[in-house]
């Protein structure tokens, strides 16, 4: 677009909404890999520590590369083509990992699958850094809750259907070919997503002066830039506790499903579908509530429910109860995700959007390096159920930190407004 930073015209915005809706259906299919990939590793014989690496490897990559990638993306006028390419590249790893797991013995397959995941995480980091800027540009002024609410509702519905069908597919096709075929399907959906998302039209980024050649001046300039945004810093310090609570649960849940409640693959599909269905309800409810009230009205009850679910899981053995709690977790996670995303973007200076997104990814992924590894360690030392109680304690800490934050600060000039349409 010709005018840097100008909002998209109404016809372009409407087209963006249609494209995002179609893209969301593909993203939902890809996202269905979430509950199955760690279970595949567990069924191959992976340890709790190796399952934890599945979560911590992308986080480590983000900590190391998010800021350099953000600096690289910030210098590009139009980041949409790169955004679609890097996401497709990262999602191709699912098919590769399925093939490796099906063809190689477990002792060779597991480390090679983790290495493939590490290589793909480089591309995934670039996609995650670019995501807030692409979505905000596609939404137009004050449209984040509307666009993201619709996007994540559609993705959640697609994910729910995919997980339900995938669980039955795993039941009728022999192992390990069932997981290999399923992961290949996720990669194909990722390519479909890339073909759609590359058609989005967003405002061009502001072309800032190139950074100094020396590393130290660049780093000092970045630190000074971030320090000038105290609301952004306060948000990051609070949200890192919530991220840590999520990271703790990541390796514990597949171990809980397979070893604690002995859930067959079909039931793992049902549990995953319940969580995805809960997310659809959560995104819809959050979207409707935010149009009438505010993001805070969504954030606090969602965070409290998200913290409570691991504790409730720690005392159940009945699979229908596990599925019901997964539904609650989906509702809570959706509301928290939507509210935190809106709060993050409201604190980012417009002219440095990709840069601040990369800083956010770096800070939050510090928690995702340590927390999944700690979750795997807790599974070995105190057991999976007690590990879930620790995750609840960290989630409650995050809730308290956000509840203590003073509210009523208006969005300052030069930032995206936190208000929604309607």
pLDDT at 332: 94
Q: At what angle do helices 80-103 and 106-139 cross, to 10 degrees?
A: 160
Residue 280 has pLDDT above 70, yes or no: yes
Q: What does the chain come to in residues?
A: 422
Give the structural domain span for 299: 10-205+229-404
Q: Positive or negative, the Cα torsion across 120, 29, 314, 302? A: positive
Higher pLDDT, 358 or 83: 83
Would the pLDDT of 210 be above 80? no
In a domain, 218, yes or no: no
Q: In this predicted model, which residue has the larger pLDDT, 208 or 69? A: 69
Confidence band of 416 (pLDDT split at 50, 70, 90): very low
> In the chain, how many domains are there?
1
Q: Has residue 217 been placed in a domain?
A: no
pLDDT score for 28 = 92
Asked if residue 418 is part of any domain, the answer here is no
The CATH number covering residue 200 comes to 1.20.1250.20
pTM more than 0.75: no
Task: For residue 214, tell me if it sits in a domain.
Answer: no
The answer to the question of residue 372 being in a domain is yes
On average, the pLDDT of the chain sits at: 83
| Distance (Å, whole) CA 342 – CA 144 | 7
State the alpha helices, DSSP H only, in 293-421: 296-313, 319-346, 353-381, 384-404
Q: So what's the pLDDT on residue 96?
A: 96
Task: Say how far apart CA 329 and CA 375 lie, in whole Å.
Answer: 18
Output the pLDDT for position 3.
Answer: 40
C-alpha triplet 35, 38, 43: angle, nearest 5°: 115
Residue 135 has pLDDT above 60, yes or no: yes
Q: Count of CB atoms within 10 A of residue 102's CB?
A: 18
- Per-range mean pLDDT, top range of 56-65, 72-81, 194-203: 194-203
H helices of 75-105, in order, are 80-103
Q: Look at residue 142 in the predicted model and tell me its pLDDT.
A: 66
Under 8 Å between Cβ of 1 and 201: yes
Q: What are phi and psi of 280, to 5 degrees?
A: -60, -45
Within a domain: 82: yes
Q: In this structure, is residue 219 part of a structural domain?
A: no
Query: CA angle, corner 167, sides to 166 and 168, nearest 5?
Result: 90
Q: What is the DSSP-derived secondary structure letter of residue 295?
A: S
The answer to the question of residue 5 being in a domain is no
Residue 421 has pLDDT above 50, yes or no: no
Query: In terms of pLDDT, which residue wins out, 52 or 211?
Result: 52
């Amino acid at each position: 677009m010709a005018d840097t930073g100008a909002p998209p015209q109404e016809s372009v915005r409407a087209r963006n909404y249609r494209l995002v809706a179609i893209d969301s259906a593909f993203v939902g299919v890809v996202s269905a890999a979430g509950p199955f990939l760690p279970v595949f590793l567990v069924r191959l014989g992976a340890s709790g520590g190796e399952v934890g690496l599945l979560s911590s490897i992308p986080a480590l990559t983000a900590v190391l590369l998010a800021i350099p990638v953000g600096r690289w993306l910030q210098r590009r006028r139009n980041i949409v083509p790169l955004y679609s390419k890097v996401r497709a590249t990262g999602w191709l790893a699912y098919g590769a990992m399925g093939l490796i797991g099906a063809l190689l013995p477990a002792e060779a397959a597991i480390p090679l699958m983790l290495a493939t995941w590490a290589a793909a995480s480089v591309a995934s980091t670039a996609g995650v850094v670019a995501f807030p800027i692409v979505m905000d540009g596609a939404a137009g002024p004050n449209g984040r809750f509307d666009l993201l609410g619709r996007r994540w509702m559609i993705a959640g519905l697609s994910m729910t259907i995919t997980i339900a069908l995938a669980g039955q597919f795993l039941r009728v096709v022999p192992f390990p070919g069932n997981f290999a075929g399923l992961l290949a399907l996720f990669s194909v959906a990722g390519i479909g997503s890339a073909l759609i998302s590359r058609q989005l039209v967003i405002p061009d980024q502001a072309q800032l002066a190139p950074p100094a050649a020396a590393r130290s001046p660049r780093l000092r300039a970045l630190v000074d830039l971030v320090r000038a945004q105290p609301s952004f810093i306060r948000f990051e310090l609070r949200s890192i506790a919530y991220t840590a609570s999520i990271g703790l649960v990541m390796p514990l849940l597949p171990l809980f499903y397979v070893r604690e409640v002995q859930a067959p693959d079909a039931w793992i599909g049902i549990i995953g579908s319940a969580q995805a269905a809960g997310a659809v309800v959560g995104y819809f409810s959050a979207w409707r509530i935010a149009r009438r009230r505010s993001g805070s009205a969504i954030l606090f009850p969602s965070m409290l429910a998200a913290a409570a679910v691991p504790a409730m899981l720690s005392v159940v053995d009945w699979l229908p109860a596990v599925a019901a709690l997964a539904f609650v977790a989906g509702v809570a996670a959706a509301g928290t995700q939507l509210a935190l995303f809106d709060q993050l973007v409201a604190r980012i200076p417009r002219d440095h959007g990709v840069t601040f997104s990369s800083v956010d990814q770096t800070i939050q992924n510090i928690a995702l390096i340590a927390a999944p590894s700690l979750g795997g360690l807790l599974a070995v030392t105190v057991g999976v159920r007690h590990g879930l109680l620790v995750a609840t304690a960290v989630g409650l800490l995050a809730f308290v930190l956000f509840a203590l934050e003073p509210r009523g600060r208006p969005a300052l000039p030069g930032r995206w407004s936190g208000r929604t349409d309607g």
